C-alpha cells in the first residue's frame, strides 16, 4: 500500500490541490484539505486494528477485510477523481481560475 500510495496519490494530491484552487481561496482550501487528510489518516489507523482483530471478519474474509474495505474506498476515490476533478496538465493557474468561474457562473 505504502509503495503504491507513494508513487500515486501521495505526492500528486499536493501538486493538484495547489493548481486547482483560485488564489482567493487557495490557503483556506489547502487548510481544509490537510485537515481532511489527517482525519482520514486517523480513521485508517483506528479502524485497521479493529478490522484485523475481528474474529468474525477474519473467518469470513480470511483476514482480508480491511484490505477489501480500503480497496473499495480507493475505487470510489478513483471514480470521483475521474468524474469531478479537472485536468490541470498544460494549464496555467489563471486558466484554472477561469474554468472554475465558468462552471459557477449563473446560467442566462
Nearest to 99 by CA among 108, 87, 107: 87
Tell me the average pLDDT across 76-100: 85
Tell me the average pLDDT across 16-26: 84
What value, to the nearest 5°, has the Cα angle with vertex 47 and ends 71 and 53? 100
H or E stretch covering 37:
helix 26-53
Phi, psi of 85 (to 5 degrees): -95, 125
Per-residue pLDDT band at 31 (split at 50, 70, 90): very high
Nearest to 97 by CA among 47, 42, 24, 43: 24
Tell whether the model's pLDDT for residue 67 goes beyond 80.
yes
Question: Quick one: pLDDT at residue 77?
Answer: 87
The dihedral of CA 15, 20, 26, 30: what is its sign? negative
Amino acid at each position: 500500500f505504502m509503495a503504491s500510495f507513494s508513487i500515486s496519490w501521495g505526492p500528486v494530491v499536493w501538486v493538484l490541490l495547489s493548481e486547482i484552487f483560485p488564489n482567493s481561496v487557495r490557503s483556506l482550501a489547502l487548510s481544509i484539505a490537510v485537515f481532511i487528510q489527517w482525519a482520514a489518516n486517523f480513521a485508517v489507523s483506528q479502524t485497521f486494528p479493529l478490522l484485523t482483530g475481528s474474529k468474525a471478519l477474519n473467518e469470513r474474509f480470511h483476514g482480508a477485510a480491511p484490505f477489501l474495505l480500503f480497496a473499495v474506498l480507493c475505487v470510489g476515490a478513483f471514480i470521483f477523481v475521474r468524474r469531478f476533478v479537472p485536468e490541470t496538465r498544460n494549464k496555467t493557474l489563471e486558466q484554472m481560475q477561469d474554468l472554475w468561474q465558468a462552471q459557477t457562473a449563473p446560467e442566462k
